[in-house]
Chain A
């Protein structure tokens, strides 16, 4: 019987694999410690540990969700909404993430589902993240173009046509879906993280305060100018300038 041997070249990748494994393990440990702190009611310490875990894996929606929970329990509504929104952007179909974001937004006087839109349509529209939509679009674009090239090369055989049709359909669906989401969503989103942010008519203390925005209110970031950010309030449609310390970008 022939003995299976580990390919020699794999030894080259071994340190990287070990490094990756160690990194995942460290995140898991941090998350476990953070969970212990959370269960003990030490939410501030829990938030710090979750934050450390996120630095190693910023694309993990579940860590963002957990961090949001710790911040919410610490009384930091604005920062909690930042984390929940990041988690939502990464995995909008997760019901827990959606629930907690809606819950926190309600505390800030905002609704996740805009009024007048049936929730089911909203949830369907936000079933996939922008990244997933873009990913699916590109995957089906690859499939479509490669299969089309092969189909042409092979003098257009009939058996390849269903593959072409399906990939063209999916590519179109995801492309249009992605395009609409891209157009409808604000370019850059932020959240008011101070208790009450004074929104001024210009970028400076010398400008009058037009209105105040409560903590946790989501804003569209329109422009920036030396320590000041021009924001538009999504719900009210008002705009003005706030200090950078009042807003955290998503």
Chain B
């Protein structure tokens, strides 16, 4: 027994010596890609492996890969625990999708540890345009992508013992156990998966851990690795725990596959130093013989609840958790063309990696560049939390007081089972015109001779017009247009003169007829004039009455008044076919005689009354003839 102890101590010393050498080894980092020649939009898997001892090796710093779309990483880890000393070999997997055609470089990826910086070599990628293959799908379920599938699904150990499935009844030496803290969550809400590897015996070499296959989840590692000792059914176990935050990406029953640990456990051989085979055993290495074991955890079923449709804001983009939004700019006094860094920060608990940038409303007064985001995660108490920064460069195009409007961000809060919309405060910028040719807005660096094009920033209606009265011309035209019947006046005016002209023309063409037509009117006018002016002058009166009567008859008969005599009247009337009654003819003769007798009578015989009577007689005579002729 004593000999056995001596050998055991010697072997353990050798083992510890080896472990100590490993612990003092430096950290190594290596990057590789699955292919270096791809077509546009084809995925490249970048694997960064970090090997080192100790549990506090930081994650590698991925440089800005502006030519690639970089999707969330997965992480695989193999752990060796030897006498409490741990050595890890961690593989970080990234999915890159190139956004360029030609040659591009993945710059060195670095890690700082122990005051030293370790970095990988740059990798050259050639991207061709043709033969662009379809995207292999969003690598968001990248946790699953990054996890190596277990080699086979056998849960049998090499010794034929199933440690994982029935660990407790037989109090096995090693087993793996996986649990989740909540088995019913909303889509994109966190649940924490814990995978614990228990060992009650010494291990040879480092156990290899393969994370469970996750389908329908986005996973997030929750370091650090937790180690400790615990008693299970009276047996002391050393355990190592790895935690993952899981965010379901789809609703329904989701399965978390078994986690797998491969290890080699020390065989407990009965060592008899006095046995004949002892030396053979030493030289054949059978004293250090180990037994390989492959352990699996139980698969888990988790229910992902769909997000309610009721009350879902229009701008909701899938964020689940509890968040706050803030916004700031690096300066508020700028010139036209100067760049302003506008930063929106969303902080809180939830799957920040998959958080999309809140949409910035249209800002025609600015040139808005692409938004770049960065993440600051804090996994305190195994809750994924932190801040996501969305930085956008804004370049004012115009001077004046410009406002960056409030930005809306909506998320579903599983604690209150409701959607919430938060707004960042609006930010006012004072933009000065700036010196010509200065500023980022003039980044195109127009040469002195090159004319600058007018660039349309936005389109809007034109501004108000200064108060103006309606012009006189407008009012006049309006009034003329609305004049109604008044507009008939010029027609009447024209018609009158036109008619007059036509009449005169007609008169000129047939003067005899015109005389006939005017005879009556002319005679009456002479009589009226005589009555007014010569009533007291019988001589003149009778002269006028004679002229009226003889003139009337002459006009009607188409004769000259001087040529017409009382004796020749009958003949002329017959000649002119002047149809008057014999009575009228008698009256004509009587009145003519009367007038002649007065014309040639001595002065003073006639009185005013007599003159008036003869005037009336002449009038009545002419009127009766006129009536007869009609």
Contact = CB atoms under 8 A, between A and B. Distances in A.
Contact of A141 (B461, B477, B487): B487
Given A132-B474, A149-B490, A152-B497, 11 more contacts: A61-B470, A62-B466, A68-B461, A72-B461, A131-B481, A138-B487, A141-B487, A145-B491, A145-B494, A148-B498, A152-B498
Closest 8 CB pairs of A and B: A135-B477, A145-B490, A149-B497, A134-B481, A145-B494, A135-B481, A31-B467, A135-B480
A144 B487 CA distance: 12
Given A60-B470, A152-B501, A132 B477 contact: yes
Interface string B228-263: 000000000000000000000000000000000000
A5 interface: no
Interface of A: 24, 27-28, 31-32, 35, 38, 57, 59-63, 65-66, 68-69, 72-73, 91, 96, 99-100, 103-104, 131-132, 134-136, 138-139, 141-142, 144-146, 148-150, 152-153
A60 B480 CA distance: 17
Contacts of B491: 145
A148 B494 contact: yes
B478 A59 contact: yes
A61 B468 CA distance: 9
Contacts of B460: 103
26 contacts: A32-B467, A35-B464, A59-B470, A59-B478, A62-B466, A62-B467, A62-B468, A63-B467, A69-B463, A96-B462, A100-B461, A131-B481, A134-B480, A134-B481, A135-B476, A135-B479, A135-B480, A138-B480, A139-B477, A149-B490, A149-B493, A149-B494, A149-B498, A150-B497, A152-B500, A153-B500
Nearest to B460: A103
Interface in B471-510: 474-481, 483, 487, 489-491, 493-494, 496-498, 500-501
B459 A103 contact: yes
Which of A100, A103, A135 has the most CB atoms of chain B within a 10 A radius of its CB?
A: A135
Given A135-B476, A135-B477, A135-B481, A62 B494 contact: no
Contacts of A62: 465-468
Contact of A57 (B466, B470, B483, B496): B470
B478 A138 contact: no
Nearest to A67: B464
B532 interface: no
A72 B476 CA distance: 32
A73 B460 CA distance: 10
A96 B465 contact: yes
Contact of A131 (B459, B465, B477): B477
B469 interface: yes
B464 A66 contact: yes
Contacts of A60: 468-470
A141 B470 contact: no
Contacts of A66: 464-465
A192 B301 CA distance: 58
Interface in B22-47: none
**Chain B contact patch, size range:** 20 to 34
Contacts of B498: 148-149, 152
A142 B479 CA distance: 14
Nearest to A87: B465
A146 B493 contact: yes
Contacts of A131: 477-478, 481
Given A66-B465, A152-B501, A146 B490 contact: yes
A31 to B, nearest CB: 4
B472 to A, nearest CB: 12
Contacts of A31: 467
Contacts of A100: 461-462
B207 to A, nearest CB: 67
Nearest to A59: B470
Contact of B469 (A24, A35, A134, A150): A24
Contacts of B479: 135
A108 to B, nearest CB: 13
Contact of A139 (B470, B475, B480): B480
A31 B483 CA distance: 30
A23 to B, nearest CB: 11
Contacts of A145: 490-491, 493-494
A31 B481 CA distance: 28
Contacts of B500: 152-153
Nearest to B477: A135
Contacts of A153: 497, 500-501
A104 B82 CA distance: 78
Contacts of A134: 477, 480-481
A28 B477 contact: no
Contacts of B487: 138, 141-142
Nearest to A143: B490
A48 B483 CA distance: 32
Contacts of A32: 467
Contacts of B501: 152-153
A6 B459 CA distance: 55
Nearest to A148: B494
Which of B481, B491, B496 has the most CB atoms of chain A within a 10 A radius of its CB?
A: B481
Nearest to B468: A62
A210 to B, nearest CB: 30
A185 to B, nearest CB: 15
A207 B477 CA distance: 46
A62 B466 CA distance: 8
Contact of A103 (B461, B474, B497): B461
A73 B496 CA distance: 58
Contacts of B470: 57, 59-61
A138 B481 CA distance: 7
Contacts of B477: 131-132, 134-136, 139
A141 B490 contact: yes
Contacts of B489: 142
A150 B500 CA distance: 12
Nearest to A141: B490
A66 B466 CA distance: 9
A8 to B, nearest CB: 26
